[in-house]
Structure 1
Amino acid sequence: MKALIPAAGFGSRLRPLTFSRPKPVLPVAGQPIIAYALQHLRSVGIEDIAIVTSDATEAPLRAALADWPDVTFLRQAYMGGLGHAVAGAEEWADGDDLCVMLADNLFEHSPAGLLQAFRDGGAHAALALIEVEDPRAFGVAELDGEGASGRVRSIVEKPEQPETNLAVAGLYCFTPRIFEALRQVPVSARGELELTDAISWLIRDGAVVRGYRQPGWWKDTGRPADLLEANAWMLARQGSVQRGTVEHSLVQGNVVIEAGARVCRSVIVGPAYIGPDAVIEDARLGPGVSVGRGAQVIGAIVRHSILEAGACVSGLSGTLSDSILGQGAQLSRQPATSYHQCLMPDASTLSIAGD
């Protein structure tokens, strides 16, 4: 079996963070989002992995995955939808079964259960399903049976009155028959080749399509709040590692301090991640904070936030919380004035406390 990770889009809902970088390279708990997909796929023995890119995303993806030299990059000619991304990999798949895992989805557990349901059930396709509170925003599957897996009767995209609460998550297994299905279905009303349409075609054609209730949590990192929640979840899974320097400070809970980082006269409450060459001075950090390579927190309190590489927070009188600072972003306290001055790119959000 081979694996495919579609990663050609930028992620408009995360602008301005994704104006210059694709969403899968944004950091969560010290790693690019896409790295977690690679780790899960390798954990189940899949070695041959390709990432689908575009003209705009290939360079930043290659840079972010410099530590993964044995990954193949496939270019998607245009943004034609998820089905189009999969169809373009037919020659590379070369007749092998295919596991498809979306680059911006995070799963607590590996695809091991899904792969077993796919192989043991003699399926042509298998889908990871997650129980959600409000399934109206997702593709929703109807299953035969109440067990961990069953045959999929139908998939309805974003139904007004869902028959079940089983959302189709971004994790699939296919035999080569999926490529036949993708050739059979037309482009959708929004101008894209839809993978769910191809799966529905398989069901109508009598193919065995199985659904597997994926255990644990799942997060589609589509919005800033999702990114922060995913960061907190992934931080909670890490252990405690101290490779950097800690002086006159208190470190509590699961905290990773990478080599070259320096923590001085500060309190760190885990879970937290402090990246290489970061500087934390006279600060209180955590819980739920990731600090990227070379970032600085000086004389400030930060909780439940992500500071990317080279960001700096200094001299704040209050607490910085539920925030994301992009690469090289600067946030500091200035002398009190009667006006505010700012430079904000498109789709930015700035909250200023009132009197």
Structure 2
Amino acid sequence: MKAIIPAAGLGTRLRPLTFTRPKPVLRVAGQPIIRHAIHTLVQAGIRDIGIIVSEVTRAEIQHAVRELTDLNITLIDQTRQLGLGHAVLTARDWVGQDDFCVYLGDNLFEKGAAPFVEAFRQTRPDALIALVEVADPTAFGVAELDGTRIVRLVEKPKTPPSNMAVAGLYCFTPRIFEMLDGMPPSARGEYEITDGIQRLIESGADVQGQQVEGWWKDTGRPADLLEANRLLLERLESQVEGEVVDSQLTGRVVVPASSRVIRSKIQGPVVLGENVLIEDAYIGAFTSIGRDSVVRRAEIEHSVVDAEAVIENVDTRLQDCLIGVRAQVRGGRRVPRTHKLTLSDASVIELV
């Protein structure tokens, strides 16, 4: 069985973070989002993974997966971004006659892909779709069910047939390509995977729904990234190998051998990347600090700091922050009560 991860889009809902980088390479819990997706597919026994990329995203995606070994990763070019159905059809030649899974790389599942892949392998319907119960189904593709069988699938309906929304994981036989091939675009000009699945249903195919167990997170917005970071850090196991001088580490903390913590306090769960310096600082729970970053004479908690960032001389504790690659936060004289920041890569903020 193979897997497809669509990663050709621009992630406009996460701007300004995605002005310079595609969404799948943004980090949560110390790793690019796409690596979490790949990890869960490998845990499900899938090692042939095709990543759909565009001219804009190819280089960053290739860089994010360069160190992964013991699996076969193929980058598949999508020259135009015309919807998820089009992205899947782009991978038709690569998939061949194999069964395959489509995993939206910005989605995270507490129990991963394995429950869905295993159920699909056991019963082998024409399609198996991950479903999650939501409060407002109008923002999702929604399934109408007869037991576990999906009898109708509607994209963002004004009057939802149920509250069971399509989550970001699908398992298919190659029959889905016959439905996508020649399918007309939707009203918004895209080729919707839900329309392809509906055609599959109308052809008499067996399309099954399986409810997500545990939490599910779509990391499409800044607040979702912070929540995903929190959920993943809940699983963290302590590993302190780096230099710790006159400091207090409480809870689950990861300090790589190349990182240093000097005269500081860290309240876990917290993960530090390689070659990080924490000096005269406080790092609060549910925070991840990217490689080559510096936090000096500052306090930060419940935040995601990417690589090569600098935070120093900030008198007010930073909370709920997303700080991009090479971004800088430097303090001054004025001390507002709180700061909440979403900074794109290479930005510089002077707090004076």
- Shorter-normalised TM-score: what interval? over 0.9
RMSD: 2.0
1:246 and 2:244 aligned: yes
Give the TM-score taking structure 2 as reference length: 0.93
1:34 and 2:34 aligned: yes
* SS of residue in 2 equivalent to 1:61: helix
Cα pair 2:129 2:208 within 8 Å, conserved: yes
Map 1:169-248; keep pairs closer than 5 Å. Answer: 169-248=167-246
One-letter amino acid of the structure 2 residue matched with residue 84 of structure 1: H
| Runs of 4+ residues deviating >4 angstroms | 350-353
1:78 and 2:80 aligned: yes
One-letter amino acid of the structure 2 residue matched with residue 45 of structure 1: G
Q: CA deviation at 1:110?
A: 2.1
1:20 and 2:20 aligned: yes
Aligned pairs, number = 341
Q: CA deviation at 1:329?
A: 0.7
One-letter amino acid of the structure 1 residue matched with residue 142 of structure 2: V
Q: Counterpart in 2 of 1:293?
A: 291
One-letter amino acid of the structure 1 residue matched with residue 295 of structure 2: V
Alpha-carbon distance in 2 for matches of 1:15, 1:351: 21
- Give ranges in structure 1 of 5+ residues lacking alignment: 338-343
Q: Counterpart in 2 of 1:54?
A: 54
Cα pair 1:80 1:193 within 8 Å, conserved: yes
Q: CA deviation at 1:143?
A: 1.8
Q: CA deviation at 1:185?
A: 2.0
Alpha-carbon distance in 2 for matches of 1:271, 1:345: 25
Cα pair 1:6 1:101 within 8 Å, conserved: yes
Change (3 A) 1:193 1:301: same
Cα pair 2:260 2:276 within 8 Å, conserved: yes
Q: CA deviation at 1:45?
A: 1.1
* SS of residue in 2 equivalent to 1:161: coil
Q: CA deviation at 1:65?
A: 1.0
Cα pair 1:122 1:208 within 8 Å, conserved: no
* SS of residue in 1 equivalent to 2:181: helix
One-letter amino acid of the structure 2 residue matched with residue 265 of structure 1: R
Q: Counterpart in 1 of 2:117?
A: 115
Alpha-carbon distance in 2 for matches of 1:184, 1:310: 47
Cα pair 2:265 2:282 within 8 Å, conserved: yes
Q: CA deviation at 1:104?
A: 1.0
Q: CA deviation at 1:119?
A: 3.0
- Give ranges in structure 2 of 5+ residues lacking alignment: 336-342
Cα pair 1:117 1:210 within 8 Å, conserved: no
1:65 and 2:65 aligned: yes
Q: C-alpha offsets along residues 142-189 of structure 1, whole Å, 9 cap, x if unaligned?
A: 2222xxxx1111112122232322110110000000000101421112
- Alignment counterpart, residue 253 of structure 2, candidates 240, 252, 255: 255
Q: Counterpart in 1 of 2:3?
A: 3
Alpha-carbon distance in 2 for matches of 1:352, 1:334: 5
One-letter amino acid of the structure 2 residue matched with residue 13 of structure 1: R
Q: Counterpart in 1 of 2:340?
A: none
Q: CA deviation at 1:117?
A: 2.7
* SS of residue in 1 equivalent to 2:234: helix
Cα pair 2:264 2:279 within 8 Å, conserved: yes
Cα pair 1:272 1:290 within 8 Å, conserved: yes
Q: CA deviation at 1:35?
A: 0.4
Q: CA deviation at 1:214?
A: 1.5
* SS of residue in 2 equivalent to 1:237: coil
Map 1:151-170; keep pairs closer than 5 Å. Answer: 151-170=149-168
Q: C-alpha offsets along residues 320-342 of structure 1, whole Å, 9 cap, x if unaligned?
A: 001111111111112459xxxxx
Give the TM-score taking structure 1 as reference length: 0.92
Cα pair 1:14 1:222 within 8 Å, conserved: yes
Q: CA deviation at 1:351?
A: 12
Cα pair 1:239 1:255 within 8 Å, conserved: yes
Q: CA deviation at 1:112?
A: 2.0
Q: Which deviates the most, 100-109 or 130-139?
A: 130-139
Alpha-carbon distance in 2 for matches of 1:197, 1:336: 55
Q: CA deviation at 1:74?
A: 0.6
Q: Counterpart in 1 of 2:95?
A: 93
Q: CA deviation at 1:133?
A: 2.0
One-letter amino acid of the structure 1 residue matched with residue 15 of structure 2: R
